[in-house]
């Protein structure tokens, strides 16, 4: 297992794709954090409530800081999940899955090694993504004379858990890429779901009392629940969150579900 772990880790970090996505994530998160910090500090009611429902309740300064520092789990988790997915789909796209299975014929071990090795890269994405939002967000708040809450234990805890959530998203990506191995289709599906489908679903389901509970179990909502802070929930655009531990279990459940589906389908077929 150790040899498989080392091999899969080297596969991840010896390509240029991961650090290109990492740099893109850092720049994107810093930009969003700066813009959001400016907007929310100037008008805490500027983002809130569903379309047509008027401004929502103003966010407290602590909510503003927490929301900005955890933006990576609300709006930037697509980067680690794509990196995780490409680690498996790349094997099929470039036909390297054949020599990989010749070196490690135990397919469950191969899959497990990919998922475990992705945690290291996922933690790096978590550190960089969260660091970018905290750095740019806190700098903007400080320039505007607003409290940054950088010494507040609750806010710092949410930021720290954001790193964990983004690492788990990488593992979810590996599982999803194992189930759906077409690289182009995977990227399209992930972008569409994370950037459009789930946000709309959370907004719509949050408008009905009977559906609020369902929206909390969607993957993006589960990832936000880990941090205990949410751009969508704090701004009033979506329902509340599960407890932090429940969010972690739900997101890990998605990773296991996709991995099992992939093991029983893509990795069960004959591969030549």
pLDDT in the model for residue 82: 93
Banded pLDDT at 137 (limits 50, 70, 90): very high
167: which 2 tokens?
Answer: 């690492």
Average confidence (pLDDT) over 133-155: 90
Q: Show the CA angle centred on residue 102, arms to residues 98 and 108, nearest 5°.
A: 90
pLDDT in the model for residue 226: 92
195: which 2 tokens?
Answer: 């950037």
pLDDT in the model for residue 176: 94
Give 39's contacts (C-beta < 8 A, 6+ positions apart): 46, 47
225: which 2 tokens?
Answer: 């629940």
Does residue 67 or residue 56 have the better pLDDT? 67
- Measured between alpha carbons, how far is 39 from 270 in angstroms, rounded to an integer? 54
Residue 21 has pLDDT above 80, yes or no: yes
Highest-scoring range by mean pLDDT, 46-55, 107-116, 248-257:
248-257
pLDDT tens, residue by residue, 167-210: 999 999 999 999 998 989 999 999 999 888 988 888 888 777 77
Average confidence (pLDDT) over 154-163: 90
- Cβ(170)–Cβ(119) under 8 Å? yes
Residue 81 has pLDDT above 90, yes or no: yes
pLDDT tens, residue by residue, 219-244: 999 999 998 877 777 777 777 788 99
pLDDT in the model for residue 122: 92
pLDDT in the model for residue 51: 53
- Cβ(229)–Cβ(158) under 8 Å? yes
- Cβ(38)–Cβ(144) under 8 Å? yes
- Measured between alpha carbons, how far is 227 from 66 in angstroms, rounded to an integer? 9
pLDDT in the model for residue 53: 54
Which residue, among 125, 117, 92, has the nearest Cα to 10 in the 3D structure? 117
- Measured between alpha carbons, how far is 230 from 241 in angstroms, rounded to an integer? 8
3-state SS class at 105? coil
Which residue, among 47, 48, 50, 45, has the nearest Cα to 208 in the 3D structure? 50
Measure CA 132 to chain center.
15
- Measured between alpha carbons, how far is 23 from 18 in angstroms, rounded to an integer? 9
Residue 78 has pLDDT above 60, yes or no: yes
Mean pLDDT of the chain: 86
pLDDT in the model for residue 45: 63
Exposure string for 80-98, b = 16+ CB within 10 A, e = fewer: bbbbbbbbbbbbbeeeebe
- Measured between alpha carbons, how far is 205 from 21 in angstroms, rounded to an integer? 32
Average confidence (pLDDT) over 50-67: 70
Domain ranges of the chain: 1-265
Residue 212 has pLDDT above 80, yes or no: no
- Cβ(159)–Cβ(69) under 8 Å? yes
Does residue 55 or residue 207 have the better pLDDT? 207
- Cβ(168)–Cβ(226) under 8 Å? yes
61: which 2 tokens?
Answer: 């300064």
Residue 26 has pLDDT above 90, yes or no: yes
Residue 164 has pLDDT above 60, yes or no: yes
CA distances from 267 to 39, 178, 186 (A): 48, 8, 16
How much of the chain exceeds pLDDT 70, in percent? 93
């Amino acid at each position: 297992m150790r040899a498989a772990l080392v091999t899969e880790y080297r596969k991840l970090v010896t390509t240029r794709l991961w650090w290109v996505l990492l740099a893109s994530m850092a720049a994107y998160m810093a930009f969003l954090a700066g813009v959001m910090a400016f907007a929310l500090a100037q008008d805490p009611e500027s983002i809130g409530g569903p379309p047509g429902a008027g401004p929502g309740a103003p966010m407290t300064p602590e909510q503003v800081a927490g929301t900005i520092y955890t933006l990576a789990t609300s709006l930037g988790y697509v980067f680690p999940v794509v990196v995780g997915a490409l680690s498996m789909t790349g094997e099929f796209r470039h036909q390297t899955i054949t020599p990989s299975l010749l070196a490690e014929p135990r397919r469950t071990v191969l899959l497990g090694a990919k998922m475990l090795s992705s945690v290291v890269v996922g933690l790096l994405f978590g550190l960089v993504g969260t660091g970018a939002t905290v750095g740019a967000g806190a700098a903007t708040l400080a320039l505007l004379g607003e409290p940054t809450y950088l010494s507040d234990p609750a806010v710092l805890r949410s930021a720290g858990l954001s790193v964990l959530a983004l690492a788990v998203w990488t593992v979810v990506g590996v599982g999803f890429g194992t189930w759906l191995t077409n690289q182009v289709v995977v990227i399209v599906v992930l972008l569409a779901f994370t950037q459009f489908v789930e946000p709309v679903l959370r907004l719509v389901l949050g408008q009905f009392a009977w559906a609020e509970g369902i929206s909390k179990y969607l993957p993006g909502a589960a990832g936000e629940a880990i941090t205990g802070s949410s751009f969508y929930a704090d701004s009033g655009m979506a329902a509340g969150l599960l407890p932090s531990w429940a969010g972690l279990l739900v997101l890990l459940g998605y990773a296991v579900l996709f991995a099992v589906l992939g093991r029983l389908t893509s990795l069960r077929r004959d591969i030549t």
